[in-house]
């Protein structure tokens, strides 16, 4: 059994969609829009991200986050540099021999972790 779907409440679906397509490999060609306004986009691993507009996204407990595991440390460092160059807020960074990762904030300030772990 694999967890392959996340429903995310967002304040601006096009803005969030662009963020996840630009930085996390969600394919715009897979986008499906439903009658209730939900848009689902899929990445190459078959993960479905459902974006649904709400008045304002709820504030989450500090620990709550979701993440993307990548194939190697270079992928983490490359994406971190790209996000920083684009002005995306980075809230945590760690670079050790056994773990390289960081957390950034998406457009609705949801923490997103990107990491490699030995």
**Domains of the chain listed by start with CATH number:** 1-57 (3.30.720.120), 59-118 (3.10.180.10)
How many residues belong to the chain?
118
**Cα 118 → chain centroid:** 21
pTM: 0.89
Instruction: Give me the helix-helix angle, 73-85 and 13-24, nearest 10°.
Output: 140
52 Cβ contact list (under 8 Å, min separation 6)? 7, 8, 9, 10, 13, 36, 37, 38, 39
Q: In this predicted model, what pLDDT tens digit does every residue of 58-91 receive, in sequence order?
A: 677 888 899 999 999 999 999 999 999 999 999 9
β-bridge pairing 66-69 and 90-95: unpaired
Walk along the chain (118 residues) and give the pLDDT tens digit of each residue: 788 999 999 999 999 999 999 999 999 999 999 999 999 999 999 999 999 999 776 677 888 899 999 999 999 999 999 999 999 999 999 999 999 999 999 999 999 999 999 9
CA atoms within 13 A on the CB side of 82: 11
């Amino acid at each position: 059994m694999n967890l392959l779907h996340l429903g995310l409440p967002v304040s601006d679906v096009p803005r969030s969609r662009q963020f996840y397509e630009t930085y996390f490999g969600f394919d715009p060609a897979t986008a499906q829009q439903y009658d209730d306004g939900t848009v689902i986009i899929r990445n190459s691993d078959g993960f479905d991200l459902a974006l649904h507009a709400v008045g304002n996204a709820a504030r989450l407990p500090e620990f709550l986050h979701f993440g993307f595991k990548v194939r190697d440390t270079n992928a983490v460092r490359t994406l971190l540099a790209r996000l920083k160059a684009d002005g995306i807020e980075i809230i945590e960074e760690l670079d050790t021999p056994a773990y390289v990762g960081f957390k950034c904030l998406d457009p609705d300030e949801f923490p997103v972790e990107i990491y490699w772990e030995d």
